[in-house]
Amino acid sequence: MLTVQRLVDEFAFDVVAGFKGLGKEITDPTLKRPSAELAGFLTYLTPSRLQVYGRTEMGLIEQLGPTVRMNHLEKVLVPEVPGLIVTRGLPVIEELRVLADEREIPLMTTNKSTTRLFYVLIRYLTNHLAPCTIVHGGLVDVFGVGVMITGESGIGKSEVALELLKNGHLMIADDAVEVRRVDEESLRGRAPERIKNLLEIRGLGIMDVTKLFGAAVVRDEKDIHLVVHLEEWEEGKAYDRLGAEMKTREILGIPLEEIIIPVRPGRNLASIIEVAVMQKRLKKFQR
């Protein structure tokens, strides 16, 4: 659960009123600048969103007469609003403080510009409120393409990730990938916090790749573009030899292209994955 208090801690907001509402849950990843609503147009109020007041909103409020100002604020700052943020370190008028306390709406201030706050806060809220699942596998950045490597335990996923690291590619996660649906078309993966930067190789144990190869070999997160599934080679099984068969795997309702690579001694899986990524990029450019 994402609460206003967690947001305050993460972004170091100053809370000036509405302290009793710091435990409110944030459920909407979008933000609201209520300029039209403060002017009296309430059709699209969307009270579930955090409200952001910049120079435009504060200037509009200050131009209203005392009676009209309070009347409009009472209609905009309804109790369902999870919080209100005043940007640029602008002074907070007394009416805002009074309503925030009465309706237990945390009133926060920041020195960030409104544009900058929107950029960082929407990204943060999208990541934390997006639908999420854990996928057993690894995630690497190969030539800028997010490749999720899946397969049965012991098939060699971590060994392939290690070889790709040695070839200059980047690791995001090993063993488990936290996958979030960030919009209607995109999935983003990252490592669960407890195993971040860690790679397990049977016979060697668990290693911190940043200590072996440097901090530059890891990324915090990456959009997922391709699934590579490793499976034991089965004699007699018909494998795609022409590249004409298009497979997909659906995760959180979004289909991803999937390539199945049979594993047998002597195959250089890292090189195969690199070529698969180059083919994918080539197809994209030829469209």
Q: Does 94 count as an annotated binding residue?
A: no
Residue 153 marked in a binding site: yes
Q: How far apart are the first and last CA of the chain?
A: 42
**CATH 3.40.1390.20 domain range(s) in the chain:** 4-129
Determine if residue 156 is labeled as part of a ligand binding site. yes
Phi, psi of 27 (to 5 degrees): -120, -15
| pLDDT, mean of each 10-residue run, the chain (287 residues) | 94 95 94 90 89 93 88 93 96 93 96 94 88 94 96 92 95 95 89 93 90 92 95 75 72 92 88 92 72
Q: Is 62 exposed, middle or buried (0-12, 13-18, 19+ CB in 10 A)?
A: exposed
pLDDT in tens, 121-163: 998 998 888 888 999 999 999 999 999 999 998 899 999 999 9
Specify the CATH class of 4-129 in words: alpha beta
Which pLDDT does position 244 carry in this prediction?
Answer: 53
Name every residue whose Cβ is closer than 8 Å to that of residue 12 and which is 6 or more positions away in sequence: 110
Where, residue-wise, is CATH 3.40.50.300 in the chain? 132-286
- CA distance linking residue 4 with residue 13, whole number of Å: 10
Active site residues: 136, 157, 175, 241
Q: Which pLDDT score, from 0 to 100, does residue 243 have?
A: 56
Give domain 132-286's CATH architecture. Answer: 3-Layer(aba) Sandwich (3.40)
